[in-house]
Amino acid sequence: MRGADSGPLLRLDNVSKSYGSYQALQPTTLAVNEGEFFSLLGPSGCGKTTTLRIIAGFEIPTGGTVHLAGHDITRTPPNLRDTNTVFQSYALFPHMTAAENVAYPLKMKKVPATDIGLRVAEAIGQVEMTRFSDRLPHQMSGGQRQRIALARAIVGRPRVLLLDEPLGALDLKLREQMQHVLVHMQRKIGITFVYVTHDQGEALSMSDRIAVMSAGRLQQLASPRDLYYQPANSFVAGFIGKSNVISGMVATHAGRTVLQSGPLAIPMADRSAKPKAALRYEAIAVGPEAEARDIAFDAVIEDALFLSDKVEVTLSLGDTRLVAMTPSQRDSQFRPRDSIRAGFHTRDLVPLDE
């Protein structure tokens, strides 16, 4: 019964995977809660698909265990797990209508015909494709086919739906539209999603929590907001949004702990004094506004990129380089080699471990 087990719905404990001498996944521990939209995010080759295939049962991990609803499923074959997978290439059967495609997994499971009709109609309704039930795949657009593939994946009511870059083949507009469809559908039907993507914007906008991975290692597991404002290390700070990584030396200056980086002496709260800190581009103010910040300094404009609503200004202070993202205004101009005031609040600095 759903929700009858206490604890997380899905749990990976020290799960690792090696291919010969190559370790694709370092020992990884994470838990996914029932009803959660959970994402695995990271650059190509970081081990996202490997992790998903282990959850689906297409791979047996080299070490560690996988639990679903309290049961050890580490060695359970895929078809006996309460999971289903949607891939980027969502091959529908070309000679079957949308409704026949969605009905197929239920027929395989020998569900009674009367139930099949109802459940197919329900699943197709959930992806808002009722009008297309009788179409063949070649009579539908890419986005419509993807919706039918989703309906086919949820019709068997898996407890966990695994999605591996399901929108990767779609163009940007359709991708954004399908992101809304997916989030809406997930909330409505309440199936737990584990979603793989290398697109940070996609992960941030859709997920309840995100596991950021790099080089086979879990870097941070947190909500989108916390990943953005409290990155745990320089990898996450660089991968999520745009951040300066300021490195220098922790020193004592007039009785206060400071991070000394080039000409900048940035006061730090003692307990969090680290030789490295992240600072979001948009946390740096340039021009007259800089005076209202905790720290203001003179800098030289190296370069300015006009991005319609924003301007990305690269500043240099001796050997230190900082990038500021500032709202673009009709009259403001940033000329290379001009001197400018810049500043930021020390509370916006995020100390980094590595």
Region 186-225 residues binding ligand ATP, contact defined as CB under 6 A:
198
Q: Which does 211 bind (CB under 5 to 8 A by kind): Mg ion, ligand ATP, none?
A: none
Q: Which does 84 bind (CB under 5 to 8 A by kind): Mg ion, ligand ATP, none?
A: none
Residue written as token pair 């404009």: 301
* One-letter amino acid for residue 161 of the chain: L
Residue 294: name the closest of 258, 262, 254 by CA.
Answer: 258
Binding range to Mg ion, per CB under 5 A, among 48-56, 90-98, 173-181, 227-235: 48-56
Residue 167: name the closest of 59, 281, 90, 247 by CA.
Answer: 90
The pattern of x and - marking residues 16 through 45 that bind ligand ATP according to CB under 6 A reads ---x--x-x-----------------x-xx
In the set 8, 27, 47, 57, which binds ligand ATP (CB under 6 A)?
47
Region 49-78 residues binding Mg ion, contact defined as CB under 5 A:
49
The CA distance from 93 to 101, in Å, is 6
Q: Which does 19 bind (CB under 5 to 8 A by kind): ligand ATP, Mg ion, none?
A: ligand ATP
Tell whether residue 306 is a contact of ligand ATP (CB under 6 A): no
CB atoms within 10 A of CB 26: 16
In the set 12, 30, 46, 154, which binds ligand ATP (CB under 6 A)?
46
3-state secondary structure of 272: helix
Supply 170's token pair.
């779609």
Residues 6+ apart with CB under 8 A from 42: 48, 198, 212, 213, 214, 219, 239
Contact 212, 240 (CB under 8 A): yes
Q: Phi first, then psi: what are they for 60, rounded to 5°? A: -95, 130
Q: Compare residues 56 and 285 and give the one whose CB is closer to ligand ATP.
A: 56
Smallest distance, ligand ATP to C-beta of residue 236, A: 16
Smallest distance, ligand ATP to C-beta of residue 19, A: 3
Q: Phi first, then psi: what are they for 93, rounded to 5°? A: -70, 120
Binding range to Mg ion, per CB under 5 A, among 46-54, 102-110, 247-255, 340-348: 46-54
Binding residues vs Mg ion (CB under 5 A): 49
Binding residues vs ligand ATP (CB under 6 A): 19, 22, 24, 42, 44-50, 198
